[in-house]
């Protein structure tokens, strides 16, 4: 009779790793986003008004939320016994965030928010790197089964993700302050990112 304990231990470790990654991503998802990403569009026409900024950000923020929803789905709906499939899905999420960063970069922010806006672009680029690192980690795990190396790579991704989250919250807080100063309603997604 063959002892299959090592296989069960490995499977349990894989499942725990997927759930741990999902626990990191789930709080970052801000609402439902079904299906494929909407077409990315953002105008680069200079206009310093906050209302115009919000108008141009709406489709980009929708894509931002959709990218997080796809990340959530990759972690929560992929069989933990299929790390190569998870790697593929996370690689696609990385590309989604890269496209969102590009669209965000094309939006012209009011002068008072330009520094914060650049930080938000940086944070989205970090999100792209986070999911690229996750994809590489799971691809490596699919090839060699080294749970220790997977954990180290996931730790690196978590650090990048924490940096991204800090930059996103700072941007959102600056935008919320600007909206209050001008008595303009701030889009709900931005308020959510700001933490309130």
Burial class from Cβ neighbours inside 10 Å (0-12, 13-18, 19+) for residue 65 reads buried
pLDDT of residue 46: 44
Profile the chain (196 residues) by mean pLDDT over runs of 10 residues: 45 50 49 42 57 95 96 93 95 98 96 96 98 95 91 92 96 95 92 88
* Per-residue tokens: 96: 């989604």
pTM listed for this prediction: 0.78
Q: Measuring CA to CA, how many Å separate 16 from each of 36, 76, 159, 160, 165? A: 28, 12, 19, 21, 23
Q: Measuring CA to CA, how many Å separate 27 from each of 24, 39, 62? A: 7, 25, 17
Residue 76 in contact with residue 94, Cβ under 8 Å? Answer: no
> How far apart are the C-alpha atoms of 196 and 185, rounded to whole Å?
14
């Amino acid at each position: 009779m063959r002892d299959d304990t090592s296989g069960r231990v490995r499977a349990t470790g894989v499942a725990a790793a997927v759930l741990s990654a999902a626990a990191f991503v789930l709080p970052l998802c801000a609402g439902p986003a079904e299906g494929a990403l909407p077409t990315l569009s953002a105008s680069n026409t200079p206009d310093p008004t906050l209302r115009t900024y919000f108008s141009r950000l709406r489709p980009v923020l929708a894509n931002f939320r959709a990218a997080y929803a796809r990340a959530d789905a990759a972690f929560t709906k992929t069989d933990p016994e299929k790390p190569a499939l998870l790697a593929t899905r996370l690689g696609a999420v990385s590309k989604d965030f890269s496209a969102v960063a590009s669209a965000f970069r094309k939006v012209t922010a009011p002068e008072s928010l330009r520094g914060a806006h650049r930080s938000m672009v940086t944070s989205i680029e970090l999100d792209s790197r986070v999911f690229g690192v996750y994809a590489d980690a799971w691809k490596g795990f699919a090839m060699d089964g080294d749970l220790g190396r997977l954990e180290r790579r996931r730790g690196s991704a978590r650090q990048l993700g924490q940096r991204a989250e800090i930059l996103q919250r700072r941007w959102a807080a600056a935008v919320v302050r600007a909206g209050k100063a001008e008595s303009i309603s701030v889009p709900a997604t931005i308020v959510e990112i700001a933490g309130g």
